Chains A and B, each alone.
Chain A
Amino acid sequence: MRKTSLMLIAFAIFFISITGVSYAIAPDQQAKVFIDQAFQDQGWFNICEEDWESIGFANLDQAKRASVGEEPLQVYKLDIETVDCEQNLAQQAQITPLYVFPVVSDDKVVTDIYVNLINGNWEVLKLGGHLYESVLDAASKNDLEMQDCKIVQVALRKMIIANKNGNEIGVSYPNSDSLMTKNNMKKYKETILNEKHLLDNSDISNEQMLVGNEGNNDLKGDFQQNTNIWKRLVSYIAYKFHW
């Protein structure tokens, strides 16, 4: 009886350790650990204070109460050269280590902060914009949960896509009405098809190259980090227990 209990306890400890480690080293957790520290330590909070008005805070006091929200959104990518517009786009989208975190104050999403894995290191890519808020609006206006919505990027265009009742619906970002429709997806696919030809001009110089929106954005899908698993685990534990 005693032996069985010990075995059960050992199994429970083993199971918890394995799930704990997997949780701790998950990229979204690592990104969260990174941004919570970087927001203060790398001065992004300071930028919110310095430029509060154009970032979208109501006043300086609101900017002083800014913090990074909990649930990041992940950006997915489509390869414009290989995407099959006859199929659902969300199914072809590949996950990338680019996360959009909300910057919140007074329980309101004010702006976004983008965290990306660049050359194996987590970095703040930029602060600004209203992508997170747009996804919240789109989910709410289309009776969807936020986690049902995917941000999908092809070249420089972003689309908020979801699957509802077996149909793929979406809305571009930025948008004016947040209404996700099948027709928007059709237009989006037509745009992608029309733009594939632009990729055939790789030999021309910068002097001749046209400036528009559509380049082949090689958004990296590589999750390889420079820090090893144990360092990541230690930093995660230190963060969780506020060491």
Chain B
Amino acid sequence: MPKLCKILLLCTILCFMFNTVAFATTVDLGPDYPVKQPDNSYWCWAACDRSIIIQYKGTAPYLPTLANYVWQTLRGETGDAPQSMGATVDETRATLIEYDISCSRWFDDLSWAACQSQINNECLCIAFFFPSSGSGHAELLCGWSNTWPWGDRVKYMEPIDGDTYWTSYSNFANGSIVGSGYSWGSSIFDCEED
């Protein structure tokens, strides 16, 4: 009987270890990576959109074309979109829909489980961070890892330099990676090709 207990205990420990050791998934950002916004531009949202379109279509219009869609078609302005043009969350989503990518959006962050689920389904997500004043910033969520015992980590693409970064889920969710005045206030997720 004690022997059986020891075996059961050993099996339990082994099961626990296999369930908690290394797990990590990242979405391949494709051959056109990195998608960087032009220096001094406000096109972080367009860089995120372009990455998602590339993910599904293999290719995508360049950033000025995406910005012109918002500027001319959605806002009815003439001429080319200025690089100082930001976009709202809904305009960012409408641009994806224009290029046959359906997606959902809501005005809150994504839970850790939701982030994992999106990435496991090869869905890139756009996280929008808003400050107390000024304009917001968009980051592209593209991977996760929770290797035991180091906790939950996410990987994201920073459109300002086109590089990918790793951070803790908590520092991502509370906006610390962008700045101490920011918080993750909106998300675009569940992207799929129509």
Contact = CB atoms under 8 A, between A and B. Distances in A.
Contacts of A206: 89, 107, 128, 130, 136, 185-186
A198 interface: yes
B71 interface: no
Interface stretch (B2-10, B51-59, B114-122, B143-151): B143-151
Contact of B161 (A55, A130, A155, A200): A130
Contacts of B168: 124
Interface string A79-99: 010000000000000000000
Given A156-B160, A211-B45, A198 B186 contact: no
Interface in B167-191: 167-168, 171, 176-182, 185-186
B38 to A, nearest CB: 11
A174 B134 contact: no
A1 interface: no
Given A173-B161, A198-B134, A47 B166 contact: yes
Contacts of A124: 167-168
A27 interface: no
A219 B44 contact: no
A212 B84 contact: yes
B5 to A, nearest CB: 33
B90 A211 contact: no
Contact of A218 (B89, B136, B181): B181
Dominant secondary structure of chain B at its interface with chain A? loop
Given A51-B155, A128-B166, A194 B134 contact: no
Contacts of B180: 217-220
A6 interface: no
Interface centre among A175, A201, A209, A214 (most CB of B within 10 A): A209
Interface residues of B, number: 60
Given A206-B89, A213-B44, A199 B185 contact: no
B130 A209 contact: yes
B147 A54 contact: no
Given A198-B135, A213-B137, A174 B171 contact: no
Contact of A175 (B39, B129, B133): B39
A130 B163 contact: yes
A28 interface: no
B181 A216 contact: yes
B131 to A, nearest CB: 3
Given A43-B150, A213-B135, A219-B179, A208 B88 contact: yes
Contacts of A172: 39-40
Interface string B22-47: 10101000000000110111111100
Interface string A107-151: 000000000101000011111111000000000000000000000
Interface range for A: 35 or more
A61 to B, nearest CB: 19
Given A50-B24, A175-B39, A215 B136 contact: yes
A211 B87 contact: yes
Nearest to B186: A206
B32 to A, nearest CB: 14
Given A125-B167, A126-B177, A211-B138, A51 B150 contact: no
A55 B163 CA distance: 8
9 contacts: A47-B153, A172-B40, A202-B132, A206-B136, A210-B136, A211-B89, A214-B42, A215-B130, A218-B180
Interface of A: 42-44, 46-47, 50-51, 54-55, 80, 116, 118, 123-130, 155-157, 172-175, 187, 191, 194-195, 198-202, 206-220
Given A124-B168, A215-B134, 20 more contacts: A43-B147, A47-B145, A51-B24, A51-B155, A55-B166, A127-B166, A128-B158, A174-B36, A175-B39, A199-B133, A201-B133, A201-B134, A207-B88, A207-B90, A212-B85, A212-B86, A213-B41, A213-B135, A215-B130, A218-B179
Nearest 4 pairs between A and B by C-beta? A212-B42, A215-B131, A43-B150, A210-B86
